[in-house]
Structure 1
């Protein structure tokens, strides 16, 4: 029972069409699944990833059309990083972000890697991170139809950033329960890794006891998911989490993977998700994301669901 790294990150958008435009046309990611929130089918759930949506490459969004502004702060997932192949790729991205008037902070360095923090049009906090010296979990493979050259394209998710007022309970969950290893510390910043390590397996925790609690909205992150090899292991994780008396969702069949959700004491929502079955379960790899995909238990409501969704233009 060893977690394999970051599985996906799920965030909130107020406008699915603008979201698709930004993440496919500017960032060059592939929309691998256009589906709905299974707990509320009235809203879109969009998945952007590498060429086939490999685990560890998915950045997903729930569309909540009336979502207000995010007021950043504590008890939050405060940043999502996107892996790119090299330091040279960051120079490309700095120019591309300028070309599209995307807010960014310029290239800097964190934990020995070159990074480029930026924001999307809704204030989503993102960071390009260079895989120049990565020796851990392998990256994904960019889609060959991306508008971004493959040598510079996004290849998956990098470290996820969390901000909390008190390190102790969060560190206990990461280390004692989930098996992360603490590998560095710089003032109020603490870095943890799991599994094979590297860019795709890290969580950074920032401790800020004075900050107000975040008020989430459009541009905020809902949860982070961690990779579990298969359903049998997920059942073992369920038993382990129950033994710790942590409130949890139990096993949830998301059709494309199986999941379990729980909150650690500082309020961060963590999902454990299996690597399979994957996004090609109901669509061919060639046509991923082109139509609205519904899990079998929602298929008989397709007409009703599609009537309430505003069509998304992909080109």
Structure 2
């Protein structure tokens, strides 16, 4: 059975080449899948993660060349955080200075050292210093294991009312409330990667606006189809929430719903994983299309911008 927690986070970006350079070269993540937005197949869908694309490490993007900027507000993810070794926070601060990455001074949240920063599209990100044992780094990422990103720490959601969302985190996804700091409420699933969700209650605040730098949805893990179906049943029976039908995303199978605070949630299966159509050592190298789009490969490829 899979651990509870976040499966992946999907966001909206500007130019694909700039997005690829930032997440692979600056942050040292691996491009684990290069495919297209199944609902807009002339747009890339790029997946970044650890060396094998494990659930809990995957940040994905829909990059549109001329996308308008988004706006952080109610009903959106306001921050996406990665874990790094605590001893490397100073190293990352110097790296951000050298690379011209917009960032703030390290601060403390729930006793942890947090280094907030933004990507080229203004997406709100953070590095959280932890004492987890280091893992093998992606050897082509250019960042040694002593500093490399260790997967997701978690996400922060901005909500008018935190209680209904907290109930779904607890009842459906197995999170437990572990602390409060001011308007910030922290839930923990115990997962090694992507185990933290924070809810920030802001009352009648400005509504979020999707666009460049905004998070499109947060996906939570289900071990398999049966586990996902159980979550769907509990959502309907206990919370009156109805999901979409299951959608085959090639590397996982998904259902979607708006949680009570307006954030788009997904439940994604751990199976079959990213090596279903590429060997582990070749992940992210070739443009992968679902079978239904293969007849349009030439047309789709011609419409996509060239990236490495």
Q: Unpaired runs of 5+ in structure 2?
A: none
What does 1:1-315 correspond to in 2, within 5 Å?
4-84=4-84, 86-132=85-131, 134=132, 141-194=136-189, 196-197=190-191, 200-243=194-237, 244-313=239-308
1:197 CA displacement? 4.3
Q: Unpaired runs of 5+ in structure 1?
A: none
**Which runs of 4 or more aligned residues in structure 1 lie more than 4 Å from their structure 2 counterparts after TM superposition?**
138-141
How many residues are aligned here?
307
Give deviations 1:292-313, integer Å, cap 9, x for gaps: 1112222222112112111112
Give deviations 1:250-303, integer Å, cap 9, x for gaps: 211111011111111111011111112111111111111111111222222211
| Aligned partner of residue 229 in structure 2, secondary structure | helix
TM-score (norm: length of structure 1): 0.92
1:222 CA displacement? 0.5
**C-alpha distance in 2 between matches for 1:56 and 1:2:** 11
| Aligned partner of residue 102 in structure 1, secondary structure | coil
Give deviations 1:134-187, integer Å, cap 9, x for gaps: 5xxx98643111111121111211121100111222222222343321110112
**C-alpha distance in 2 between matches for 1:198 and 1:24:** 22
Query: Aligned in 2, Cα 1:140/1:210: closer, same or farther, shift over 3 Å?
Result: farther
**C-alpha distance in 2 between matches for 1:206 and 1:273:** 24
Query: Aligned in 2, Cα 1:139/1:8: closer, same or farther, shift over 3 Å?
Result: farther
TM-score (norm: length of structure 2): 0.94
**C-alpha distance in 1 between matches for 2:274 and 2:134:** 18
| Aligned partner of residue 271 in structure 2, secondary structure | strand
**C-alpha distance in 2 between matches for 1:130 and 1:6:** 19
Query: Cα RMSD between the aligned structures?
Result: 1.8
